[in-house]
A = this chain, B = another copy of it.
Amino acid sequence: MPLLHQPAELINSLREQNPLVMCIQNYVAMDFSANVLLAAGASPAMVNAVEEAEGFTKISSALSINVGTALTPHWIKAMELAASTAHDCGKPWVLDPVGCGATAHRNEQCAMLMERRPTVVRGNASEIMALANACKVEVVGGGSAGGGKGVDSTAGSEEALPAGIALAKRFKCVIAISGAVDIITDGSTKVLIRNGQEILTKITAAGCSLSTLCAAYCAVCNSALDAVTAAFLHFCIASDMTAEMVEVKGPGTHRVHLIDNLYNLSSAALADRAKFEVHEL
């Protein structure tokens, strides 16, 4: 079963349209994800004041919200307002429920944001399972209670697939689960991605910036499943190319050359290197 929009076409669309992506991003990831978006072909705007949440969302083509580092009342209000604005204006928005499962407060806020109907949720396996619990979604075929260690996952992506499917069906959104194999599902189809390098888990904000890239692709493609697949391939293939470079010897150099490769990756190389499968559920 093929996708309707080929990733190799979408990377060109992204660069041609250079969409403005508003990000409510955590402090740690702001710098890196702004550079990821610029290198990939989008135009980032990092904003977090309540006073600007509505106005900036309206002039943007997509929104990305990461519950991040500062779940204070002011930030929560900005997230809620931006998400509601995006939903009401029909603009795509992506939720990154980072660290979901770590505290009761975080679980509550993530569940609140799910009610504002994100187009896409991207997290690791522990976060997706914890999110299903937080939203009191019934998960068919089990799955643990999530948990994780702080913001790091303690489970594989396959383990979180039932939770992902349940969330996708309940909220009519796309759920993307990062892991050794990445899984993207809309509840009726799953895409498996076999590109990407384990060293990404040693680079802070890798996942957080991938979420913002998902938002950028949603701005140029109205199928969220296809958009997220293209975003993962762009990011993960750039990481594969980086790992092959002789000058890359650890997470410091990987991070730097990853930005170059996001910028330089051609549409043809993306098509050539993409390792993904589409399955009906």
Contacts and interface: CB of A to CB of B under 8 A. Distances in A.
Interface of A: 20, 22, 26-32, 34-35, 38-39, 43-52, 55-56, 59-60, 69-72, 74-75, 99, 102-106, 149-152, 201-205, 247, 249-253, 255-261, 263-264
Contacts of A38: 201-204, 251
A203 B35 CA distance: 6
B52 A103 contact: yes
Contact of A46 (B27, B72, B251): B27
A201 B256 CA distance: 17
A166 to B, nearest CB: 26
Contacts of A203: 35, 38
Contacts of A28: 30-31, 34, 46
Contacts of A30: 27-28, 69
Contacts of A250: 39, 259-261, 263-264
B263 A202 contact: yes
